[in-house]
Chains A and B, each alone.
Chain A
Amino acid sequence: MSPVLFQTALYASLALCALGLVWRASAWFRVRIGTDARAVTPSRRIVALFRGSASALFSRRLFAVLGAFFLDVLLLRRLYTNEKLRWLAHLLIVVGFTLLVLMHALAPIVSAKLFPGYQPTLDPYLFLRDLFGLMVLTGAALMVLGRRSARRDLTQTRDRFGAAFMVLLAFVLVSGFLLEACKIASPRAFYRMTDQFIGTSDPRKLAPLRALWASEFGVAFADMKRPIDPLLVEQGRKLNSESCASCHAKPVSAFVSYPLARMLAPVTSVLDEGHAEVWLLYLHVFACFLGLASLPFTRFFHVVAAPISLLVDAAARDRASPGQGFSSAGRASRRALALDACVRCGICDSRCSVAPLARYLGNPGLLPSHKLLATGALAGGRLLRTGHEDEALRAADGAFLCTDCGRCTSRCPVGLDLADLWEAGRGDLAAAGLPTPAQWVQARPALDWAEFLQARSGLHDLYDPDASSALLSAGRSTFSRCVQCQTCTNVCPVVAHSIDTGHGIDLTPQKVMNLLRLGLRDLALGSRMVWDCANCYQCQESCPEGIRVADIMCELRGLSVQRLGSVRDWKAPA
């Protein structure tokens, strides 16, 4: 490969990568999420970073940062506690890829300096290169299989760039193995080396060496007669030890490339004639450069952002609780950093307590991974666009139907404070004029909604048992034991405190249950009781007949958003 071409491509990709990194990292100080973040200037956020870093480096918190580096960044402790198989896959990729880069890609400045006798064709490097490559491929395969076996529904976010980057990574590895296999099997490479180091490429003079390399080094000579004479092989061994052994070990230890070379043996002459060794080298190297240049622009930027996020958290960890150790400027940066540090693993989605509701409503906007993207889109001004009101409303429904149970935060393998991000995002949505479901539902009385729904959707039958037969609120067995004893109302703190005529509730829990019993569900959807319910579960726990009153209220809120949302009018604010 031409050194000029190589260096030009290398420096160009390095420059692109560096520019990308700076641009992406600058977002941590530019992007504003949450109304409190608007009052903080980028310069204050940069100052906060330096202050925070300095105070952590020169205090006992340094040990916490070092601990986090080893346990959380290198050993992926948080992922281990969540999902062992995914942890294994991730660890294989991280360890394999890091060592491959250090030992192989950066060989002249790392391996050659650390190990003076380093040659890529000697053991153990021959073995290790294949081992590291296989680790990455195995890890990637485990991840792909894991994603394919997971539910293929709305929980998965689409990311074409990410997928392309994964293909590129796989290409780098596969082309690397192929390149090595081609080199092992190639007679052309053999003669080039003998010409250079023995001074001849005459097959007759090299017969003993050819015999040895054909039988033990995997070179696929098309003109080699079989069986190979063992005496000739022994003669070749002497020549090999004099001229070749200092740089070449038997490639059998390259346990992936060597079998691949044996498989390629029948077509080696074709490959040699087509200079496969050369163009595979170009493909391999340029794919690496392309990956390097594009890394900051894909979601795999998390390989930079996630460790930083973990270390930043560790630096502030000795405070009372997560997030407490940050100033308003630090918090603002941390939220922007979270957008990049998310590894899109989907663990938050799988643990989300409103995931069943998201599936029922067909609105992925309720799920953490989608909320994170929507939060970023809103902060970047991409969410509120005329003509895309529905997208914005679905994102708002998702944000506001979150129960703040905190399971996403507690399970995040990168330790992102998602609860804080959701709260800040809701502030932005409200500031952008996107109403909460409670606000837009309560803008009309319940009866108005029912009539409006009937008029707009053309439904004449308010009871829709077929569409909702699996739901609590439509199941006949749900209410068959209700005796209207009004225990639910008696213990309801919301009813007890609704003593103002202007803001009192319209229906008591018992009346809501009665409407459902009568099949008049749509009359209850817009009720204040449904939306003012505090989810304290006293009704459900006290019901002598075991009716799931609180669960039904929760379900009705979801149904309201779906059914009333289909007929609401809303325009994006100018």
Chain B
Amino acid sequence: MAAALFAAERGLSCIQIGNSGGLLFASGLLDLLGVHPVAEGRLWRSPYEGLAALARDEPDHPLARVDAASVRNALETFVAALGSAGLAYAPLADRNRKVLTPIGTVKTTFGVPRSMVAGSYALEARPPCLLVDFRGLREFSAAQIVATLGDRWPGLRHQQIEFPGYEAVPELYAAHLARALESAETRGRTIALVKPLLGDARVVGFPAVLGLARAGAVHAAFEAALRIPVFEIPTMPTSVPGLRLQGALESAVSARGVQRRQQARVRALSFEADGGSATLELVGIPGGERVLARAVVLATGRFSGRGLTADRGGACESILGLPVVQPDSREAWHQRDFLDPAGHAINRAGLSIDENWRPLGANGKPAWPGLYAVGSILAHQDWMRAKCGSGLSIATAWAAVDQVARQLRGNGAG
């Protein structure tokens, strides 16, 4: 998604193949770098200082290959595009923020949606705070958060209410509530239920269900009616912020002229010798399709995204069978302790690239001059433990698209 967005912003003619898969599982928070070194679990207040340390310690880490200015530009551009699609983020600073999780733990992250940022401030200042949840919404428990944090946040309390109109429904789903709150009537009834519960609270938190496509307006309406800052706490995946992020990104890339083939899969990818065009044969759409491209960006993810597949023999790259950097044997994939803070070797598996973001073939040279790889399919990183998933995707996409643009300009394609 990020690569398609940046390519379109640079005026390149771009087609995006396949769905955005794991994006739906996102929390809406944009991590840049939270933890380094992973084994030590060291948290960084400034992600850029963390990146500098990462570059020193792990020069092969994909993020170590992107300079700080490019990382800033990439994230600013990405967040601005989301803003243009109606999903506003708090201004990006040079520091990480802390946010609450639905089980009351604290997460270190970088980019925070505007609807969540008041929670970040509240977590620092810890003023009297009310957390509200809805009966039947299984993926969020205000009581659990208070139970976890209450001893360190005396003014933190919780209340459960019935979601208006869903009183007879035993099980609620976050997306349905989010859509329902886009109706002024449901919003008004919800606010009317919350108002008497505020008491001395100076800030109020909700599960992230305050609107879907019109989340900004719903959040603003809650703040205006309750007259105190309102914040959302991400719920368990798949969450409303994930749906919002996906929706906003889809709008953003479509608005910039990216052609999308969401339901398609690449059955075969072949290249002309010495540059030229790549031919992608698509299946999964009526009649199939054949796409000719001068450059291909592989952003297929790791195992969950199906960029890599694994069997008893090892991990393979799914489309071209590119060499995968991985432990020598299957026995070395995992540590003995599943929760080992250092993580597992298989979680650093992926593609090796040259200095221009081109994956290497079996001979150690770029597999094809116009083939690039970005995101979590790249080797030498454990994005989940380093809390750098979004940053990795966005920054490497930015850097690789920069190379694509240079290549195409060099070819006279512009």
Whether, in the assembled complex, B243 has its beta carbon less than 8 Å from a beta carbon of chain A, the answer is yes
The answer, yes or no, to whether B168 is at the interface (CB within 8 Å) is yes
| Interface contact A541-B168, CB-CB below 8 Å | no
A-B contact pairs, 10 of them (CB 8 A): A485-B24, A486-B173, A498-B169, A500-B168, A501-B168, A504-B169, A508-B171, A544-B20, A544-B238, A546-B263
- Chain B residues in 8 Å Cβ range of A328: none
Task: For the complex, give the distance between the alpha carbons of A498 and B170 in Å.
Answer: 11
The stretch of A255-263, A448-456, A489-497 that contacts the partner chain: A489-497
Interface mask (B370-396 → A, CB under 8 Å = 1, otherwise 0): 000000000000000000000000000
Give which listed residue, B19, B171, B175, B179, contacts A544 with CB less than 8 A: B19
**Which chain B residue lies CB-closest to A504?**
B169
5 A-B pairs besides A485-B238, A499-B169, A544-B25 with CB distance below 8 A are: A496-B176, A496-B179, A496-B180, A544-B20, A544-B21
Query: Whole-angstrom distance between the alpha carbons of A498 and B19 in the complex?
Result: 29
Bits for B15-40, please: 1 = Cβ < 8 Å to A, else 0. Answer: 00001111111000000000000000
Q: Report, nearest first, the 7 A-B pairs whose CB atoms are least far apart.
A: A490-B175, A496-B176, A501-B168, A487-B238, A544-B24, A544-B21, A485-B238
Beta-carbon contact of A485 and B169 below 8 Å? no
Q: Is A496 in contact with B19, judged by CB distance below 8 angstroms? A: no
Q: Indicate whether B237 reaches chain A with its CB closer than 8 angstroms.
A: yes
Q: Give the most central of B22, B25, B165, B176: most A CB within 10 Å.
A: B176
Q: Give the distance in Å from the alpha carbon of A371 to the alpha carbon of B25 in the complex.
A: 46
Contact (Cβ within 8 A) A495 B168: no
With a cutoff of 8 Å between Cβ atoms, the chain B residues found around residue A496 in the complex are 173, 175-176, 179-180
What residues of B have a CB within 8 angstroms of the CB of A486 in the complex? 173, 238
Complex alpha-carbon distance, A485 and B236, angstroms: 10
Nearest CB of A to B285, in Å: 12
A504 close to B175 (CB less than 8 A) = no
Residue interface mask A531-570, B partner, CB < 8 A = 1:
0000000000110111000000000000000000000000
- Beta-carbon contacts of B166-185 to A below 8 Å, as 1s and 0s? 10110101111001100000
Q: Given the known A-B contacts A485-B237, A499-B165, A542-B24, are A490 and B176 also in contact in the complex, defined by CB atoms under 8 Å?
A: yes
- Cβ-based interface call for B262 (8 A): yes
Q: Quote the shortest CB–CB distance from B302 to chain A (angstroms).
A: 14
List the A residue with the shortest CB-CB distance to B139. A486
Q: How far, in Å, is B186 (CB) from chain A's closest CB? A: 11
Specify which chain A residues have a CB less than 8 angstroms from the CB of B166 in the assembled complex.
Answer: 499
Cβ–Cβ < 8 Å partners of B176 in chain A: 490, 495-496
CA distance A487 to B263 in the complex (A): 16
Bound complex: CA A490 to CA B177 (Å): 10
* Shortest beta-carbon distance from B398 to chain A in Å: 24
Of residues 229 through 255 on chain B, the ones whose CB sits less than 8 Å from some CB of chain A are 237-238, 243
Taking the closest CB of chain A, its distance from the CB of B410, in whole angstroms, is 37
Instruction: Compute how far the CA of A545 lies from the CA of B243 in the bound complex, rounded to whole angstroms.
Output: 15
Quick check: A541 and B179 within 8 Å, CB to CB? Answer: no
Which of A485, A499, A504, A546 sits near B25, CB closer than 8 Å? A485
Please indicate which of the listed interface residues A487, A489, A490, A499 has the most CB atoms of chain B within 10 Å of its own CB: A490
Least distance between B268 CB and chain A CB atoms (Å):
18
Contact pick for B243, options A490, A495, A500, A546, CB 8 Å: A490
Distance in Å from the Cβ of A299 to the closest Cβ of chain B? 35
A499-B168 in contact given A490-B174, A541-B263 (Cβ < 8 Å): yes
B238 A541 Cβ-Cβ under 8 A: no
